[in-house]
Structure 1
């Protein structure tokens, strides 16, 4: 039996939430009122009876985390944040979905106080919640001591039919069940409505059996509209289960209280004025009152907020005692949760000379990861079932696994994501959101496209997530066009706030990790080769860390005929071309550009020294040439998909050899000489940063 104790303000609180949500959406004339009205009872019970959080300090380390995976219902979350006393005012509610407000159309981390992750694309929040739960289990397994549960919070997540139809949620749920994440409780709003109408038209699977097969505990509340005691009992039961994640199937009526309740009409459109009036009258409110919070409801939520502050105060006392007994561990907790990197960690990054052997950059990446594992305990991640190919597991690594499996323990830093690319990156977003962890993921570059939705949200959320992407070109050879990325880097480079690195040798690989780890609010994709690459004579970590630099220049006093600019495995091919072109009497420069995004933010003077006026610039890359117009006058790349054959033959087929590149360069030089006139740097444009040279 539940220990639920009803409070006088419970029913009025639930109806206040419903009325506020309806008012918020109506004023904006945009949004989704139905789910907030249907889920008001479970939101009220969760936030007043179970959530351990302090609205006065929304970043308290051990707070319970809440994720609204069905992010279209954000009027509900904003309403709860306001009632609880987070930095969301009534005026902020009135500015819902308006320009520059802190209450955008879907929840965004960093915009609204109390929002943990950016949700909206369905299923992403589900996977984020799994990441948050993994993070707690890991931090607890690493730092908790007998008598000191420094990290023991729960992650609560609301989800709906739309999320559960998305593959990313299925991937994440499967992994959560395997990992026995007993700290994760999901509430499934089973209201039978999606945008197309009743779910009978497309979604008739047995959700409960699916989640049981994943290894989840499944509980039920058959009247989510009224049964507050049943809701409380289900959440309490879920908290007792420390061996399984819990799914609570909550039957609700979407838009409860509306004349259109239970239909698709209340899913994604504001209620009409007369409907809101009759609903308020039904709930005992004055139909003329808008954005109204009764005093007893406000007082009740103020007390809940005080309880949250008291919970943090009690934790602070525990942590103070922990700090006295375990000062080194406490200092590490604070460093990691504050996002500070250890002093001198950069010193472990390896450097190379031409005396070092040619190896694939995926192997160079493995060397860096191995070095980092020893000095960056927060560097945690794994591969989507490609560990042996991505080379992301260091010697002596412990897997993150439930101790009962005998495969690892909760303090393990290597995650076996399985063949779940999309969930892998979405889970990494949750790991980053928790704090104290710098997550990395790994797959083939081509299959980063499987995770595109989550990659985009890494960038939008400003999460430091490192995506290791090996087998980065036609150089992977025999696997053929299905595995050879052609367009992948183009769309990654098109993402705002994404760093795309394609190192050409060991020094550039070290530079890539250096810059990515220092970029606290930017995700990155690091593209590494399968084939061996020689160590370059004029490379260095310092040069590569600027995004682009001159690898080969013309003799002093001579005027360049052409500048080649390239990345990754094609840089050494361009070196072959430079030799050929010089033998043919041309003065040739070669620029290595491992990261366009970092080069773009360098000072104008430096950028123009790398890509100056006076000679045409030709880019060379074994991808689509799309996007190179910003840095080159001409571009040489792949005109189509790749081919299945040994790598040297594939490169030869597309002319990406020293001879082929030299031939293209001669054509470019001849064209611009024939045309005559000054050749202006491609960096100098009317609307660009450099426009007055």
Structure 2
């Protein structure tokens, strides 16, 4: 299907309108990213992302992770347009207590949200963890004729995420371990909250990521054709390198009074809401979505469901031919453990002269034997923490079945990556430092 520029441009402006209305109504929030990245989201949700709004946790989906979680109205607007269970009433309740649309995305609250994000850089570390888990799952369950896990993990991050140390740790890990199922979209708008980004950074971020082992492309993030071309190229590369797309955008696009400035980052532009609506060719009606946009996404959803049904047919065939593996996968997703699991853990007398790390190691081994999807890792301290799973092999770019992960001296990255492994839903992650 060719890219429908007219329909997606209309949808992008209407998504901008939803963000403006929601932030204006709540008198708080962040407009810069939802306005600046609307074309990126249009290409993802309106054309290229493999997902199923009716089955948000479909195991064969692509993952979209908004690391810059403060820009949550980008996510909520496009989930609404795509047909997820995020209603216009939910959009109106943006940032309200107990709403489905909190100020920062929360995993357990909103269908279509893959990770709880907000602390800058953490979502990028989570995305690396999801990419690790997807590689592990593919290695354990895929067959030549059944690609159960064949997906990309797409992460949108901004300058703040790039500056955080946790993202550097996680991305160095991703490059070393060859996570070519990871696509990082860097929203390079040259702005941070206090000032223009040039006040605090002067590095060539693309070269830094090339040094980590990423393939790097640079595009105009508001040119949908150029962005789609870069995204397709990133998805097609199966070369042992994670992918980075540096998308240069205009923060706060649609509100000329603040666009391209640090004032656009937060809610400052909301006071120009009525004028902005005119600039975007939107009617006076607030929270407006045209019938043309609803029709476009209804049609696109049907195409997504056809894609899902093709996968489901293949999945049923795999289950019929590999019932033992299917049961293992079911148990892993359902987090089933043997009823007598705790009885496998050795008991220690109260006066035992044993270090807690040694006792932990002796408890870990029987648990790992009973729980085949328990993963362990260490930040360069397996010899001290003693949490190496015996017989579990090492995870590497050549062995995705390994259950022991060498994180290197990257404690913060390790924790964010472990959370990502957990978010994926198949494996249980543990680590020590």
When the two structures are superposed, what TM-score results if normalisation uses the length of structure 1? 0.61
Structure 1 SS opposite 2:37: helix
| Aligned equivalent of 2:27 | 29
Structure 1 residue 236 corresponds to structure 2 residue 196 = no
Cα pair 2:67 2:121 within 8 Å, conserved: yes
Residue of structure 2 aligned with 1:258, choices 255, 258, 262: 255
Cα pair 2:33 2:251 within 8 Å, conserved: yes
What are the within-5 Å matches in structure 2 for residues 643-682 of structure 1?
none
Deviation of 1:316 after TM superposition, in Å, equals: 1.7
What are the within-5 Å matches in structure 2 for residues 270-669 of structure 1?
270-273=268-271, 275-286=272-283, 288-353=284-349, 358-403=353-398, 409-443=399-433
Residue of structure 2 aligned with 1:177, choices 175, 178, 182: 175
Residues 661-680 of structure 1: CA deviation (Å, up to 9, x unaligned): xxxxxxxxxxxxxxxxxxxx
Uncovered stretches (5+) of structure 2, i.e. residues with no partner: none
Measured in 2, the distance between the counterparts of 1:82 and 1:15 equals: 14
Residue of structure 2 aligned with 1:133, choices 123, 131, 134: 131
Measured in 1, the distance between the counterparts of 2:181 and 2:18 equals: 31
Residues 61-94 of structure 1: CA deviation (Å, up to 9, x unaligned): 1211111101110010010111111111101111
Cα pair 1:369 1:392 within 8 Å, conserved: yes
| Aligned equivalent of 2:9 | 11
Residues 10-32 of structure 1: CA deviation (Å, up to 9, x unaligned): 21111111111111111111111
| Aligned equivalent of 1:602 | none
Cα pair 2:23 2:270 within 8 Å, conserved: no
Deviation of 1:4 after TM superposition, in Å, equals: 4.9
Q: How many residues align?
A: 431
Uncovered stretches (5+) of structure 1, i.e. residues with no partner: 404-408, 444-693
| Aligned equivalent of 1:503 | none
Cα pair 1:4 1:232 within 8 Å, conserved: no
Cα pair 1:109 1:117 within 8 Å, conserved: yes
Cα pair 1:208 1:218 within 8 Å, conserved: yes
Deviation of 1:347 after TM superposition, in Å, equals: 3.5
Who wins on radius of gyration, i.e. which is larger?
Answer: 1
| Aligned equivalent of 1:216 | 214
Deviation of 1:394 after TM superposition, in Å, equals: 2.9
| Aligned equivalent of 1:515 | none
Residues 451-508 of structure 1: CA deviation (Å, up to 9, x unaligned): xxxxxxxxxxxxxxxxxxxxxxxxxxxxxxxxxxxxxxxxxxxxxxxxxxxxxxxxxx
| Aligned equivalent of 1:98 | 96
| Aligned equivalent of 1:525 | none
When the two structures are superposed, what TM-score results if normalisation uses the length of structure 2? 0.96
Measured in 2, the distance between the counterparts of 1:90 and 1:422 equals: 37
Cα pair 1:126 1:159 within 8 Å, conserved: yes
Structure 2 SS opposite 1:103: coil
Distance 1:270 1:305, change over 3 A: farther
Structure 2 SS opposite 1:9: helix
Cα pair 1:81 1:88 within 8 Å, conserved: yes
Of the two structures, which has the highest relative contact order with CA contacts closer than 8 Å and spacing of 6 or more?
2
Residue of structure 2 aligned with 1:145, choices 139, 143, 149: 143
